[in-house]
Structures are given as C-alpha cells and as structure tokens.
Structure 1
Amino acid sequence: MVTMEDIIRDGHPTLRKVAAEVAMPPSEEDQQILSSLLEYVINSQNGEIATEYSLRPGIGLAAPQINVSKRMIAVHLSDDTGKLYSYALFNPKIISHSVEKSYLQAGEGCLSVDEPIPGFVPRHARVTVKGITLAGEVVKLRLKGLAAICFQHEIDHLNGIMFYDYINKQDPFMAIEGAIAIER
C-alpha cells in the first residue's frame, strides 16, 4: 500500500523528469504499482482509513509522485453530477482538447506539494484521454469539468510539469478570458 511517506515532495528531481512509457503487456511489478496508486486515492477519500493510515486526501496520483518515473496514473473522483471516474491507466495520452479553457476557482493542490500555492491554473475545458487499463483494455475517455482538470494535472506529472507552472506569477488570480470557472 502507498502511504504519505512514499510520496516524494516538490523539489525532488523525479518530479521534473519525463516519465518512460510502460512496456506492454505490463510486468507484474508495474501492474502492482498502478494498482497501489488507485488504492491510495480511493483509501485517501475514506475518512476512517485516511485517519488510520495518515493519508492526505487526493483525487489523483501519478507514478512519478512515488519516485517511479513511468507513465502511470490513477484517478478517483465524482463530478458535479455524481458520475464516478475511477481509472488506473498505463501510458495515458491527451489525444484531443478544446480551445476553450477552464480552471478550478479554489485553485489546485498536489499531494507532492505541502503548502498551498494560490492562483488560477488554466486548463483545457474538455479533453479526450486514451490509455490502457489494468485489465489491458484500451479506453478513450471524453472528459470535462473536474475530471478533465484532474487528468491533465496527473498527465502533466508524467511530463515533469507541476500545476503551479501555469499560474500567472505577476497576477495569480488574473481572470482567464473566456474560461469556465469550476467549483470543487
């Protein structure tokens, strides 16, 4: 099981590396790692388990955040309609995106960043993500809202990009023209 001690912190060199593709079919070790990423995000949202194991709640986690520089992410969240997005993906890629932007009104956070970093993080309002599940199935997900933002955040980790790289340094809360503001 992944714990908070396994999650590396901002400043660690692995967080700035471009992660390697996972060879298909994945090794047993890679399947175990990906499975444990999903287990963490699910457990971190369960108050009892999170308290017992001192887990900080999260909705997504990427392999580089546990110092494994491979293209694997896990996401577990419900959108504003209550639809559940629970995915563990090998080699996820954004294959298309909208021109329209969106951002979380409250800003973004990250399990690898301990302090809050205020500011709007512009993202694509809609994305289509393609990846391979633990069962070996190729999936294509059309995402919008919080799910689109979360997948972009996690895929950025695979490319060595941190969410705060997008925040306007001079004016963190500068209005993002034409963007959709999303409440969490």
Structure 2
Amino acid sequence: MITMKDIVREGHPSLRLPAKDVSLPASEEDKNILKSLMEYVQNSQDPEMAEKYGLRPGIGLAAPQINITKKMIAVHVRDKKGNLFSHALFNPKIISHSLEKSYLTAGEGCLSVDRVVPGFVPRHSRVTIKGTKMDGEEVKLRLRGLPAIVFQHEIDHLNGIMFYDHINEKDPFEIESGAVPIER
C-alpha cells in the first residue's frame, strides 16, 4: 500500500523526467503499480483510512510521484453533477483539446508539493484522452470541468511538468480572456 512516505516531493529528479511508455500487454508488476496508485487515491478519500495511515487526500496520482518514471496515472474524482470518473490508465495522452481555457478558482495542489502555491493554472476546458486500462482495453475519454483539469495535471507529471510551471510568474492570478472558472 502506498502511503505519504512513498510519494516523492518537489525537487526529486523523477518529477522532472519524461516518463517511458509502458509495454503492453502490461506486466504483472506494472499492473500492481497501477493498482496501488488507484488504491492510494481511493483510500485517501476515505476519512477513516486517511486518518489511520496519515494519507493526504488526493484525486489523482502519477507513477513518477512514487519514483517510477513510467506512463501510469490513477484518477478518482467526481464532477459537479456527482458523476464519478475513476480511471487507472497506462500510456494516457491528450489527443485533442479545446481552445477555450478553464482554471480552478481555488488553485491547484499536488501530493508532491508540501506548500501552497498561489495562482491560477490555465488548462484546456475540454480534453479527449486516450489510454489503456489494466485489462488491456483501450479507452477514449471526453472530459470537461474538474475531471479534465485533473487528467491534464496527472499527464503533465508524465512529461516532467509541475502544475506551478503554468502559473504566470508576473501575475499569478491573471485570468485568460474567456477562461471558465471551475469550483472544486
């Protein structure tokens, strides 16, 4: 089981390296890693489990965050209507996105960052993601709102990008013209 001690923090080299593709069909070892990423995000959202194991709540986790530079992410999040988006994917990538931008009004956070980083993170409002599930099935997800932001955040980890790299240094709270505010 992954706990906070397994999550590397900013400054760790794995967070800045481009991750490698996972060979498919996935090995048992890679499936177990992907499973453990999903278990963390689910356990961290369970108040009893989070307290018992000292887990910081998270809605997404990428393999580089546990010092494994392979393309694997797990996301477990609900949109504003309460629909659950729970996906553990190998080799996820954004295959298309909107020109329209959005941002989280509360800013973004990260399990690998132990400090609050003020500012808005501009993201695409809508994205289409392609990836492979644990059972080998290829999926295509069309996302908007919070789920779109979370998937972009996790896929950034696979490319060595941290969320604060997107924040405008000169004006952290600058809002791009026409950007859609997303409440958490």
Instruction: Specify the code of the residue in structure 2 equivalent to 1:28.
Output: E
Partner of 2:73: 73
What are the ranges of 5 or more consecutive residues in structure 2 without an aligned counterpart? none
Alignment of 1:129-144 (within 5 A): 129-144=129-144
Once the two structures are TM-superposed, the CA of residue 77 in structure 1 deviates from its matched residue by 0.6
Residue deviations 1:23-79 (CA, integer Å, cap 9, x gap): 001111000000000000000000000000000000000000000000000000111
1:18 aligns with 2:57: no
Alignment of 1:33-112 (within 5 A): 33-112=33-112
Partner of 1:163: 163
**Equivalent pairs: percent with the same residue?**
69
The two structures, once aligned, show a CA RMSD in angstroms of 0.4
Instruction: Specify the code of the residue in structure 1 equivalent to 2:85.
Output: Y
What are the ranges of 5 or more consecutive residues in structure 1 without an aligned counterpart? none
Q: Which runs of 4+ in 1 moved over 4 A?
A: none
Partner of 2:148: 148
* Secondary structure of the corresponding residue to residue 23 of structure 1: coil
Once the two structures are TM-superposed, the CA of residue 175 in structure 1 deviates from its matched residue by 1.9
Once the two structures are TM-superposed, the CA of residue 7 in structure 1 deviates from its matched residue by 0.1
Distance 2:108 2:176 in 1: 15
Distance 1:174 1:131 in 2: 32
Instruction: Specify the code of the residue in structure 1 equivalent to 2:23.
Output: A
Once the two structures are TM-superposed, the CA of residue 110 in structure 1 deviates from its matched residue by 0.2
Once the two structures are TM-superposed, the CA of residue 177 in structure 1 deviates from its matched residue by 1.0
Q: Give the paired residue count.
A: 184
Residue deviations 1:133-176 (CA, integer Å, cap 9, x gap): 01111000000000000000000000000000000101100122
Taking structure 1 as the reference length, the TM-score comes to 0.99
Taking structure 2 as the reference length, the TM-score comes to 0.99
Instruction: Specify the code of the residue in structure 2 equivalent to 1:26.
Output: A
* Secondary structure of the corresponding residue to residue 55 of structure 1: coil
Distance 2:12 2:104 in 1: 26
Once the two structures are TM-superposed, the CA of residue 101 in structure 1 deviates from its matched residue by 0.2
* Secondary structure of the corresponding residue to residue 42 of structure 1: helix
Once the two structures are TM-superposed, the CA of residue 117 in structure 1 deviates from its matched residue by 0.1
